[in-house]
Amino acid sequence: MTVSGLMTVPLLAALLVWILKGRLLRTILLSAAAVHTVLTGYVYFKGEESIVLRGIELGCSVREFGFGVLAITSLLFLLVSLHLCSWLKSDARAGELRGESHGMSKHTLVSLLLLFLGTMTLTALAQDFGTLWVAVEATTLASAPLINFHRSKTSLEAMWKYLLLCSLGIGMALLGTMLLSAALPEGSSLAFDAVKNADPQWFKAAFVFCFAGYGLKTGLAPFHSWLPDAHSEAPAPVSALLSGSLLNCALLGLVNIRDAAPEGLTGFCNGFFICFGIISLLFAAFFIIGQKDFKRMLAYSSVEHMGLAVLMIGFDCGVLVLLHMAFHSLTKMMLFLTAGNILLAYGTRKIEAVTGVLTRLPRNGMLWLAGMLLICGTPPSPLFFTELVLVKQAGILWGGVILLLLLIIFCAMAYVVIKMCMGSAAAAEFPEIDCRAEKLTRIPLLVLMLIIFSGAALMAETIMRYVQ
C-alpha cells in the first residue's frame, strides 16, 4: 500500500499539474513532496517487510540500500521544491530584466519534476534487474527535457548529449541484463535476491556491460562526458536533483550488479570499482584545474564523489557508501542552489567574471565558501569521516593516491571558490535580483545547518569516545 503510494503520489501530482496548467502549482508540488517524504518516513519507521527490496550485505547493519537512496531522494526533493517556487519567480524576473527569451512553462517543469521523482522512486524500489533498467531509463527520459528549461542553444545541446549518451549507456546495461539472465539457470528470475549462482563466464560479460551502462549514468570517468554539460546547463534546482538524487539512483545499479556476483568473482568486480573510482578522481581533479565555469566545476566534483562512492564499494566500506552518498547529495544540492543564486545575480557562469560574492551577496558567499569546504571533506563535514574510513580500508598505497587526488581537487576548487568570493565586486546590475538571490538562501542555509550539526555531532561523539 505504502509502496504503491510512494509511486502513485508523484505521478498523480504530475498529471494534476499538467491538467490544471499552473493553477495551484505550489500547493500541489509541495503537498506531493511532503506526502512523499511522510510516506518514506512511515516506511522507515514501520519497516514493512513487504518492501524489503534488497539490502546489500556488506557486513554492516545497513537497513536498505535502496531505501537509503529513496530517503535521500525524497528529502532532497522536498527541499528543492521548497526552494523551487521562489526560485522560479526570481528566475522569471531576471530573465525579464535581461531580456532573455522565455523558457519552458512552469507547469511543464513542475510536472516533469514530479515525474522525475516518480521514476527515481521506482528505481529505488526496484526489486529486479529488469525493473531497475526500465526505471533508470525512465529517469533519463523524465529529466532530459528539464535540462532544456531555458531553451537556449547550449542547453539544447546538453540535453541532446545527455539523451544520446545515457540511452547508449542504458542500452549497454540492457545488454548486460540480457547477458545476466543468460548467466542464470533456465527459468530463474532476475530479482536481486535470486541472482546468486550465475555462471562466471557469462556473469563477467554481464558485469562489464552493466558496469559500463550504469557507470555511464553514474558519471564515472571516462563515461562522464555528458555529466558536466547536463549539470551545468540545467536550471539550479534541477542540477541539484540531478547531482543529488539521480546519480545515487544510477549507483544503485552498480551496487546491485556487484552484489549479484557469484562467489570468487567479488575480487574481479572490486577491481573494476577501484579502477574506475581512481580514474574518476583523476579526471575530476584535472578537469577542475583550469575550469572556467563554476557549475561545471560542481559537476566534476560530482564525478569525484561518485568515484569515491565507487571506491568505497570496491574497498568494502559497508554502510559508509550510503552515508557518503547522503551527505554528498545534501552538500551538493546546497552548492548547486547557491550556484544558481550566484548565476541569477551575476548573469554568468564564467568564473573569471565573478568576484566579490562575499561583498555583494554575503549570505550566498558564505554558503558558497562553506559548501566548498564541506564538499571537500573538511571537518566538521561528515564526508571527512567517510573519506577517513575509505583511506583506512584502502591501505597506505591507494589511500595515499586517493588523498593526493582529493588534495588536488581541494586546491583547485578552493582556488576557484575563494577567487569568486573574495575581491571587490562590480556594482550590481540589477539590485533587485541581488536582493532576491539573497532571499533565496533559506533552504541552502537550512541544509548547511543540517550538515554542520550532524557533522559536529559526529565529531563530538568521536572526540568523546576517545577522550574518555
Partner 1 sequence: MNDWFGIVPALFLLSCLLLATSSRMLHLIRLVALQGILLGVLPLLSEGGHWGIAAVNIIIKGIVLPVLLYMAMKRASVQRELEPLVGYSVSAVLVLLFCGAGFWVAERLPLNSAMGPLAVAAAFTVLLTGLFIVAARKKALTQVIGFLIFENGITLFGIGMMRHHELMVELGILLDVLVLVFIMGIAVCQINREFAHIDADKLQNLDDLPDGEVKK
Partner 2 sequence: MLLYVALMIIGVGGALALLCGKKHRVATLVGAVSLFSGAAAGLPAMFMGMEFESFFQIPVLILGIAAALYSPGYLAGHGSERSNVYWFFLNLTVASMLAVTVFEHWVPFLLAWEVMGLASAVLVMFDRESTAARKAGWLYFAACHAGAALLILYFMFPECNVYLSLFLVLAGFGLKIGFPLLHIWLPEAHPAAPAPVSALMSGAMIPLGFLGIFKFAHFDTCICLEEYMAFLGWALLILGVAGALGGIIFALPQNNLKRLLAYSSIENMGLISIAFGLCFLGAAAYDIQERVDDISEMVLFSFVGGIIHIINHALLKGGLFLGAGSVLKMTHTLSMDKLGGLMRRAPQSGTLFTLNAAGLCGLPPFGGFIGECLIYYAAFFGVMNGSGALRSAAVAVLIVMALTGGIAVAVYAKAIGAVFLGEPRSQQAADALEVKPLMLTAQYLLFGLSLLFIVILAWTLPEDIDAPLVKNIAILYAAVVVLIAILLWAQRILSRRGVRKSCTWDCGYAKPDARMEYTGTAFTQPLSDLFDPVLKVEKKLIRPETVFPEKASLDERVSDRSVKRFWQPLTELAVMLAEKIHHLQSGNLHFYILLILLTLAGMLIYAMMRG
216 binds, among partner 2, partner 1, none (CB under 5 to 8 A by kind): partner 2
Q: Which is nearer to partner 2, 24 or 164 (CB)?
A: 164
Q: Which is nearer to partner 2, 226 or 336 (CB)?
A: 226
Compose the 406-425 pattern: x for residues touching partner 2 by CB under 8 A, - for all others. xxx-xx--xx--xx-xxxx-
48 Cβ contact list (under 8 Å, min separation 6):
2, 3
Following CA atoms 205, 208, 214, 218 in sequence, which dihedral angle do they give, to the nearest 10 degrees?
170
257 closest CA partner among 414, 132, 113 = 132
Whether 341 and 441 have beta carbons less than 8 Å apart is answered as yes
C-alpha grid cell, residue 51: 518492501
27 binds, among partner 2, partner 1, none (CB under 5 to 8 A by kind): none
Cis peptide before 380 (omega within 30 of 0): yes
Compose the 290-329 pattern: x for residues touching partner 2 by CB under 8 A, - for all others. x---------------------------------------
Asked if 399 touches partner 2 (CB under 8 A), the answer is yes
Q: List, in sequence order, every residue forming a beta bridge with 191; answer none if it has no partner.
A: 128
* 3-state DSSP assignment of residue 191: strand
Asked if 211 touches partner 2 (CB under 8 A), the answer is yes
407 binds, among partner 2, partner 1, none (CB under 5 to 8 A by kind): partner 2
10 closest CA partner among 125, 87, 91, 89 = 125
Whether 310 and 277 have beta carbons less than 8 Å apart is answered as yes
Asked if 263 touches partner 2 (CB under 8 A), the answer is no
Asked if 229 touches partner 1 (CB under 8 A), the answer is yes
Asked if 154 touches partner 1 (CB under 8 A), the answer is yes
Whether 402 and 315 have beta carbons less than 8 Å apart is answered as no
244-276 b/e (C-beta count within 10 Å ≥ 16 → b): bbbbbbbbbbbbbbbbbbeeebeeebbebbbeb
Burial class (CB within 10 angstroms; exposed 0-12, middle 13-18, buried 19+) of 354:
buried
Asked if 380 touches partner 2 (CB under 8 A), the answer is yes
Q: List, in sequence order, every residue forming a beta bridge with 128; answer none if it has no partner.
A: 191
Residues that bind partner 1 (CB under 8 A): 128, 130-131, 133-134, 137-138, 140-141, 144-145, 148, 151, 153-154, 156-161, 163-164, 167-168, 171, 174-175, 178, 181-182, 189-190, 199, 201-202, 228-229, 232-233, 287, 290-292, 296
Residues that bind partner 2 (CB under 8 A): 160-161, 164-165, 168-169, 172, 200-201, 204-205, 207-209, 211-212, 216, 222-223, 225-226, 228, 268, 272, 283, 286-287, 289-290, 356, 358-359, 373, 376, 378-380, 384, 388, 391-392, 395-396, 399-400, 403-404, 406-408, 410-411, 414-415, 418-419, 421-424, 459, 462-463, 466-467
